[in-house]
Chain A
């Protein structure tokens, strides 16, 4: 049997006296989209930052394709789109992508940047400084930046926040396309409708615990809402 693309076992994260994650278990299979939903303060972003290798878990383990992943491996295998874009305002979109590709040791950073600009329809804005981009374009550039090293796993933290309906629809279509191309996507959101629309599987997180699950796409929004409400 193929191991899951991502498996989290008993993950805990403590910030001083506060236990942000309390033994989280979840799995995402390859080429699927797993939504992690829950209210503010549920620990969704902390979970994603542990998965990205930005925060060190206090206990538990993270496995990538069946192998326990240390942080260096995690950082090589995942791409993260967080609340903020990680873009440098003084650099152009193209320069930001080339910089990120060099940082990740990509063999031909310029070529990779041009490929991503084309894929994400950013060519017209390639020379524009990142500081002057609209929220929708910045989010598109952030998604391209997260993929410079072509990671098999993409982590997205509330990526639809602040997007107008057209940009949100474009992003949703892009995520579906990436999943079809074999990427495993973990999407953190408090927007149940968006999660139900996109995800193959969803877990409900509350106060650092997984308190509900829903599977078999398309997800039933009412059941997901019920699971979140029960939590």
Chain B
């Protein structure tokens, strides 16, 4: 457990000092909102555009990928990744530390993105803020877990910036299905569909277990 907390502390302190991940994620989210704002047709009766939940999750996912790509870039400096691979405990704990830090940063980016969407599209996100935060957190957990595993794989490849989305996006389909459906239902009726939440929970659990176990081999040379 001390390894998990150490890595979480290290990632958050490094991020606080450099701010390179969170600034990139927030700027990207804001740009997406601006682009959607001008690209989408104005509805005759006013109100948010159709497909808002899908757009929201597109912004969430791409902002997260941007952050995840940077999560291991810092480990390349001075070959620090090899230093992490030398931990005497199960390397799954290294994964947990890195994934938890990414989870917190993704949550922060999601919060800012949701606020920007609410302001730009006059979307009534505030009245469902609690359940929406829960859905976003479940999505962020899945994104952070499988994203951390694949970011660690991609970082050692030649085209790492391209490799991560190529590896990750196909795997995110079940997570996105659950998250977009749950968000759409929440915004339309104010209730959270249990089947979509179940899908999110199962996907998160599978991603978490596979990533924890697989990380031992990912750090091998």
Q: Which positions in A face B, CB cutoff 8 Å?
A: 49, 52-56, 72-73, 75-76, 80, 82-91, 95, 99-100, 102-105, 130, 145, 149
Residues in B with CB closer than 8 Å to A76 are 88
Closest to A52 in B: B86
Residues in A with CB closer than 8 Å to B9 are 99, 102
User: For chains A and B in complex, what number of residue pairs have CB atoms within 8 angstroms?
Assistant: 78
Q: Which positions in B face A, CB cutoff 8 Å?
A: 2-3, 5-7, 9-10, 13-14, 17-18, 74, 77-80, 82-89, 220-221
CB distance from A12 to the nearest CB of B (A): 15
Asked if A54 and B87 make an inter-chain contact with CB atoms under 8 angstroms apart, the answer reads no
Closest to B75 in A: A88
Interface of A is mostly: loop
State in angstroms the CA–CA spacing of A54 and B83 once bound together.
Answer: 9
CB distance from B137 to the nearest CB of A (A): 27
Using A54-B82, A88-B78 as known contacts, list a sample of 4 further A-B pairs with CB atoms less than 8 Å apart, ordered by residue number in A. Answer: A53-B86, A88-B77, A91-B10, A103-B84
Asked if B13 and A54 make an inter-chain contact with CB atoms under 8 angstroms apart, the answer reads no
User: Can you list 8 residue pairs at the A/B interface with Cβ under 8 Å?
Assistant: A54-B82, A54-B221, A75-B86, A82-B79, A86-B79, A89-B78, A103-B6, A103-B84
Residues in B with CB closer than 8 Å to A95 are 13
State in angstroms the CA–CA spacing of A102 and B214 once bound together.
Answer: 23
Asked if A105 and B88 make an inter-chain contact with CB atoms under 8 angstroms apart, the answer reads yes
Choose from B2, B5, B10, B82 the contact partner of A88 (Cβ within 8 Å).
B10
Closest to B88 in A: A76
Asked if A86 and B89 make an inter-chain contact with CB atoms under 8 angstroms apart, the answer reads no
